[in-house]
Amino acid sequence: MPYPMQLGFQDATSPIMEELTYFHDHTLMIVFLISSLVLYIIILMLTTKLTHTSTMDAQEVETIWTILPAVILVLIALPSLRILYMMDEIYNPYLTIKAMGHQWYWSYEYTDYEDLTFDSYMIPTQDLAPGQLRLLEVDNRVVLPMELPIRVLISSEDVIHAWTVPSLGLKADAIPGRLNQATLTSTRPGVYYGQCSEICGSNHSFMPIVLEMTTLKYFEKWSSMMQ
């Protein structure tokens, strides 16, 4: 969960989100160094009248400021491509669930079970229990086992939605007539919140996503009770 006045990302819960956080810090450091260098040069040009004609017209300087940006772009692109491929790879998922977007709620289907489907609606503010979060709690949570690869199939039945859980590094568009795929693996138990992040109508802000990551034993018990 984010907290008030938070500047960074939410705490990473999946290996993919940890990689994304490291990549963010790596890129931000490069941006900081470039910005500092440019600011230093601007200040130097404004505060001194000294110039060096051979430096201003030197071929070596032009070569450096052409090659150096290319090297920096490579240093950014290689980790980025690595993470992109990691996000697309799925190795023998233990479980597959299907998330369908509607105006304005989500429906879920556990495709590995014979009859395990339910709709997930936001709990209205007046019905919240003490300690529950406004605009984020739902009547039916998605319960999943932790430390296991899980495939999520995402689509929509009306307009474009987006199934997003920031702490897991997940964001995939739910498009009518198209089936998108994502993978998630939680490294620890907990309750993780997300929301639709694609403007989908008047109640766009009122279709939250809640994942409850538990142990495999509890998940099997829950699934047997829901069937």
Q: What CATH code is carried by the domain that includes residue 111? A: 2.60.40.420
pLDDT tens digit sequence for 62-110:
888 889 999 999 999 999 999 999 888 877 899 999 999 999 999 999 9
Q: How far apart are the first and last CA of the chain?
A: 30
Q: Is residue 3 part of a domain?
A: no
CA distance 114 to 98: 13
- Give this prediction's pTM: 0.84
Last residue of a domain, one of 69, 88, 107: 88
Q: Which residue, chain included where needed, has tokens 């491929």?
A: 85
pLDDT tens digit sequence for 176-221:
999 999 999 999 999 999 999 999 888 898 999 999 999 999 999 9
Last residue of a domain, one of 60, 88, 116: 88
Give residue 60's domain range: 15-88
Is the same domain home to 123 and 194?
yes
Q: Is residue 8 part of a domain?
A: no
Largest CA distance in the chain: 81
